[in-house]
Each structure stands twice: as C-alpha cells, then as structure tokens.
A and B are shown apart, each in its own frame.
Chain A
Amino acid sequence: MRKIHATTIRNAVRELCIRANAELPRATTAALREAFSKERSRLGKETLSLLLENAREGAHERVPLCQDTGYAVFFVELGQEVRITGGSLKAALTSGVRQGYRQGFLRASIVGDPLLRKNTRTNTPCMIHYDIVRGDKLKILFLPKGGGGENASALKMLRPADGIAGAKQFVIETVRRAAAGACPPIVVGVGIGGTFDSCPLIAKKALLRPLGRRSKHALYARLERELLKEINNTGIGPSGFGGSVTALAVHVEYQACHIASLPVAVNIQCNAHRFRSITL
C-alpha cells in the first residue's frame, strides 16, 4: 500500500486549477497555428492570430484564457494500491478547487441549485469521474468546462436503423446549431453506443485524446475524417465569422450497446481547449 496524504492532493489540485485556466496546452496552440495556416478567410485568419496572442497573454501574465473558468471536471485514475490518508479524496479535490479558484482569481460560476440559481461563490461542488486502475499511482486530470460548449452539446437516442448516416447527421446538426455560440474553432467529442448515462461520458472523454489523433478502429477513424470535413464545409469559421476552419478535430469513441439502441452524444469544446493532469 502506498499512502498519499490529502493535503498533497489538495495542493496539487490548487495549482492544477490555476495553470489549466491560464496555459493553453501545447497541442491546442499547435492546432490553432495549423488552423491559421489553412484558413482562407481574412477575418478568420485575424481571429486565429488573436487567439494565439491570447494564449501568449494567458501564459505570460497568468491570466485566465477565458473569463468563463468553467465547471471543474475531474477524471481520476486511482491505483488500487493507493491509500489516501488525512481525509477523503473528494474533500481534497473540492478544497483544492476552492483554494485554486480564490487564489488564482478565477471566476466562480457554479449555482448550488439549478432552479434557485444562487452562486456558491467557491466554484464547487466539482464533477468527479473515478476509475479504479492497477498500480500505486493517482492520476488527476482537470478539465475546466465552459458553459458555451456545454450548452451546445446534445444526446440523442437514435434507432439502430439510423446507422452511420443518422449518427453523422445528428453530429452535423448539433454543430450547426452551436455555431458562433460555442466559440469556434471547436473540438468535437462524439460518443456512440453505451447507455443513456455512459454515452455523453465517452463523448467527453473523447475530447481528452491527443488532439487530432485518429481512432484505432478503421471504421471510426474514417467517420472522424468525414465528420471533420463536413463540419469545416459548414463555413461557420473561426468565431462564426466565416471560413474554412470550424473544427480543430473530431474524436469519436464507441462502446457496446443494447440490441435496441443507438445512443449518440456530441460534447462540444470551444477554442479554449484547456486541461491539465498530474500524477502523484
């Protein structure tokens, strides 16, 4: 058994929140740069070059890339030989968020009750997805997820007969509806299969794949290529100002599903595609 103290976790999470919000991952910056070289519309190009400057400003000044510093979403991989001491894992993650958001001057964007809508002022509670894995490590991935991308996301229970064509149509429709509101160029996470609850989750996990890496499964890799092309053909362009780059990447994940169903989920991520992980 390897012991990890809750304080170590809290401190790591605090730093994770601050850095993830200010520093765009290198892969996202690289994708924006590539988009800049591909983009054919002048206004689109100017928008992309401003977004690249925004990434520099965030990293140098430690200022959040976007004022929406998001819902604090965690993907935790807990090695089964790890024992957490000094408190619960959930409490450690939560207090890390509370401290990180306060000390990093990040915006508190969570209401405690969806109908009463009073801000909790701490950006907590957070959303935690746990996985128990082999080994004696604890991996914590933090994804601050903005409202614009989440509001543009959707789940639909298709009929098996709708097949690939139906799935594609639903993805494209969702992207068209999202348009400028989701701050393109976007990253599109697609989940196909699973159950009503797991399908959106694999769509969200799809966002975390190294940007632009194709699915290992040839069928899904082809689907990704075709979807990316069709999405870029919509002409929405950077910030909705028109152009040839609407999405930086499309990632599709799939799962076994019931003989009667074909769930498809689309999780949209904005140009501020930021997340960061740490292994303890």
Chain B
Amino acid sequence: MKKILTIPMQKEVLSGLRAGDALLLSGDLYTARDAAHKRLFDLLRKGRKIPIDLRSVILYYTGPTPTPPGRPIGSAGPTTAGRMDSYTPFLLERGLRAMIGKGPRSNEVKDAIKKYGAVYMAAIGGLGAYLGRCVTSCKVVAFRELGPEAIYRLGVKDFPVVVINDGTGGDFYEATLKRWSRAGRIRR
C-alpha cells in the first residue's frame, strides 16, 4: 500500500523510488511554477546564486488560491508539469532531484530524470481543497513580488503523490496505459 516518507529523503530512499509507488509525504515542499522557474533559470544562467538549494528541495508546481483567514493556505493542487519542461533539464543538471506536478513530461525531461537519477511525482489534479488541508505551514522564501507564483516553503503532512518517472527510466503513465487499455489487453 502507501509508503510513508519524510522529507528530506535520504539519497538511497529517493533513488529507490519506482514508477507506480504511492507515497504519503511529510516535511517541506517548495512551490515553483512558470514565473519562478523563469527566474531560477535566468539567475543560474547568469552565474548568480539562487535562493534555494536545488539538491535538497522537492519542487511542487502549484499556484494556490489566496489564503483565507484561519488556514495556512487556500486550495493548493498541482498544475500541469509540461509547462516547466523547457527549464527542467537545466535544473536537473544543476542538482534538482525531485518534482511534483500533474501530467506527462517531455522526452528530454524523462531522459534527464534518468540520467541524474531524479524522480517526478504526480499529485491528484482537482484535489486542491484536500491538499490545502495537508499543508500545515506556508512561508514565502523568494520572489515575494510574484504573488501566488512566488516560491513558498510548505510544511506538509501525509501529502499523497504517485511516482510517475523514476531514475531507472520507469514511466508510470505509459505502463498504466499498457496495463489498462482494452486494446492493449487484446494484443497481449
């Protein structure tokens, strides 16, 4: 069933994750979507320092709703990962090892995930209210001026994800289609 994992993960734990593993994560996630990716990319390209340590963080692609009174965050589900694809191989090269979003990645990203032994996980799209409840704290870390697109550190508890792409080249979306499509079954 579900593996319960605390963040930061040991290297061996991360490299032991396999496509299809269902996990419950507890610890810190760092939010970053389109605008924050562009900032990180531009800073690194200019040889500048960036405000987070790529090697130790899990990036979560989300743009939450404004925080209502009495909650640490509003609704906070995943956004489409494919929009970050043009930045991701470069970030992986610079040390990034774990990402959470939704939907498939490009072949370049999948190759880079394999090359660097990284992992891409999916959270459930449309689950924003529930996932917001898994967030226990929320603090802006960088690029405050980007509003909902800034980088926030989210403390999460039992945050459900499924591993999609692993460091051995495993691809859960593809495996799943082979297993569940009716056409696939007839062929076998």
Contacts and interface: CB of A to CB of B under 8 A. Distances in A.
Interface residues of B, number: 44
A53 interface: yes
B4 interface: no
A43 interface: yes
Interface of B is mostly: mixed
Contacts of B175: 242
Interface in A49-73: 50-51, 53-54, 57-58, 61-69
Contacts, number: 153
A66 B128 contact: yes
Given A106-B65, A234-B181, A235-B184, A65 B128 contact: yes
A235 B176 contact: yes
B124 A43 contact: no
Interface string B166-188: 00000011011101111110000
B125 A270 contact: yes
Most buried by A among B67, B77, B129, B180: B129
A125 interface: no
B187 to A, nearest CB: 12
Contact of A107 (B133, B148, B173, B177): B148
Interface stretch (B49-57, B68-76, B91-99): B68-76
Interface of A: 22, 41, 43, 46-47, 50-51, 53-54, 57-58, 61-69, 105-107, 119, 147-148, 151, 179-183, 233-237, 239-244, 270-272
5 contacts: A66-B128, A69-B65, A148-B102, A240-B103, A270-B125
